[in-house]
Amino acid sequence: MEYDAFPAGDLIRQGIKDIQAGLESPQAFLVAVGRPRLSRIGISVPESPFTSPELRLYEYLCRTDPDAAHSRYNALIRRLVSFERAVECAS
């Protein structure tokens, strides 16, 4: 799949790579959050080693910029949903 053809495709592509490499990153946590829906729409996402990826993503954002963590978390989730919707519409 050409991830970059869709909104936030760069995040999803990087998140899948990070999960495969066992890296903890915002992109990996985001893909782990979206794994059920991503799998349903035909995107192969490796099994995530992360428990509670939503919480892990938020905690990561809190460590890097606590004042903006909430808005950054919501923005990332919106980008994930935009990607999922775009892929569903293209299918």
- Closest Cα to residue 61, out of 70, 48, 53, 51? 70
CA angle 29, 33, 39 (to 5 degrees): 115
Structural domain of residue 40, as residue ranges? 3-90
Higher-confidence residue of 2 and 54: namely: 54
Sequence-ordered list of residues with C-beta below 8 angstroms from that of 29, at least 6 positions apart, any chain? 15, 50, 53, 54, 56, 57, 60
- The domain total for the chain is 1
Task: Return the pLDDT at 91.
Answer: 82
Evaluate if residue 34 carries a pLDDT over 90. yes
Evaluate if residue 89 carries a pLDDT over 90. yes
Q: What is the pLDDT of residues 49-68, one digit of tens each?
A: 889 999 999 999 999 999 99
Mean pLDDT of 8-28: 96
Query: CA-to-CA distance for 89 and 42, rounded, in angstroms?
Result: 13
Task: Return the pLDDT at 58.
Answer: 98
